[in-house]
Amino acid sequence: MPEALLYDKLPGQRVRCNVCQWRCVINPGKSGVCRVRKNDNGILRLLNYGRVSSIAADPIEKKPLFHFFPGSLVFSLGTIGCNFHCDHCQNWEIACVEEPEPISGILREISPQEVVRLAKRNDCAGVAWTYNEPTVWFEYTLDSAKIARENGLYTVYVTNGYITPEAMDMIGPYLDAWRVDIKGFTDKLYRDLARISRWRSILEMAERAKSRWNMHIEVVTNIVPTMNDDTDQLTGIAGWIKEKLGELTPWHVTRFQPHRNLRYLPPTPIATLEKAYNIGKEAGLRFVYLGNVPGHAHENTVCYNCGSTVIKRVGYNTDIIAVKESTCSICGAELNIRTSTSAEAGK
């Protein structure tokens, strides 16, 4: 098992992992909150390096990323383990492992070099770490991202955003897009839904991804009835995006479907999603999208300046109608659509 990066050795053969904001202090023989980083006699070892649970060539719109290489395919990989334990997790079978060994039979070993080779063979323009939280196999994503970049592929984290600044700064030079969940906007919401207390660090890391590393950012809020569908939280998220990430940052408000411990709740009413859409627009956001509602008009990208539909979407079918580089080809308005990697853009 490879040794972890970014950890401290402590007295008594204990270690402190510094990859995510839990900063777990781990006793010998034990693992961290994510269950996939284990203290082996004072050395922090990775139980999931290169061990893939899920793999697919997905439309980039499935992440969802709507303003980043639209219409492209992205080679998508997930492993096991997570640093959050959300009550409504859709991927809990791979995310919420107690120990990896019992399910190791379902994992496939894929080297970083093989990731790039498979991505190209499947006509993918980039690589995404998704399905479960990418930071829990940080070292593998870092090694893979470096090679992907060398081979002209873009790189994407689909993340809960709970990374530390030092991990962000280590992988920042090799990441192009930060697709981050902002699950709510109160201590109570993050505590109740995900058992997380330091949630404001998620906001700080998203701001850092943009300001220091020039990543393309898109924000997702899965709207769960009775938990984060109130006007105060939605207004808080929308206002933060506008102020800290900019009015051209896409915000996806997605429909909750009952899962795991929240099966007793109903799916999000469409009217609630439309309320969130209006809150985003009133806050000044130019691009608010409804998710998990195929065929809804708010899946499309509409130019805020001339009103033209510039990208039409139905589910994962994407029709690029009027985009020239990052702008509306009809009126020239800037749409914050990225079609070159950060490296190509001079990062």
Binding-residue total with ligand SF4 (CB under 6 A):
13
Angle at 34 between CA 60 and CA 229, to 5 degrees: 60
Check binding of 22 to ligand SF4 (CB under 6 A). yes
Among 76, 79, 83, 339, binds ligand SF4 (CB under 6 A): 83
Stretch that binds ligand SF4, among 16-24, 206-214, 230-238, 334-342 (CB under 6 A): 16-24
Among 19, 47, 177, 303, binds ligand SF4 (CB under 6 A): 19
Q: How many CA atoms lie within 13 A of 186 on its CB side?
A: 13
Footprint of ligand SF4 on 26-45 (CB under 6 A): 32-34, 37
* DSSP secondary structure code for residue 317 in this structure: E
* DSSP secondary structure code for residue 182 in this structure: -
Among 17, 80, 89, 115, binds ligand SF4 (CB under 6 A): 17
Nearer to ligand SF4, 15 or 303 (CB): 15
Distance of closest approach, residue 45 Cβ to ligand SF4, in angstroms = 11
Check binding of 335 to ligand SF4 (CB under 6 A). no
> In one letter, which amino acid is 158?
V
The contacts found for 98-107 with CB under 8 angstroms, 24 or more apart, are 98/35, 99/31, 99/35, 100/35, 100/36, 100/47, 100/48, 100/51, 104/51, 106/53, 107/48, 107/51, 107/52, 107/53, 107/79, 107/80
C-alpha 23/C-alpha 119 separation (Å) is 33
The token pair at 208 is 């850092």
Among 39, 54, 135, 221, binds ligand SF4 (CB under 6 A): 135
Nearer to ligand SF4, 24 or 147 (CB): 24
C-alpha 130/C-alpha 134 separation (Å) is 6
Distance of closest approach, residue 150 Cβ to ligand SF4, in angstroms = 26
**Strands (DSSP E) found in 174-280:** 177-181, 216-223, 251-255
Nearer to ligand SF4, 198 or 263 (CB): 198
Residue nearest to ligand SF4 (CB): 32
The token pair at 159 is 């993340």
Check binding of 201 to ligand SF4 (CB under 6 A). no
Stretch that binds ligand SF4, among 15-23, 228-236, 301-309, 324-332 (CB under 6 A): 15-23
Neighbours of 52 (CB within 10 A): 20
Binding site for ligand SF4 (CB under 6 A): 17, 19-20, 22-24, 32-34, 37, 83, 135-136
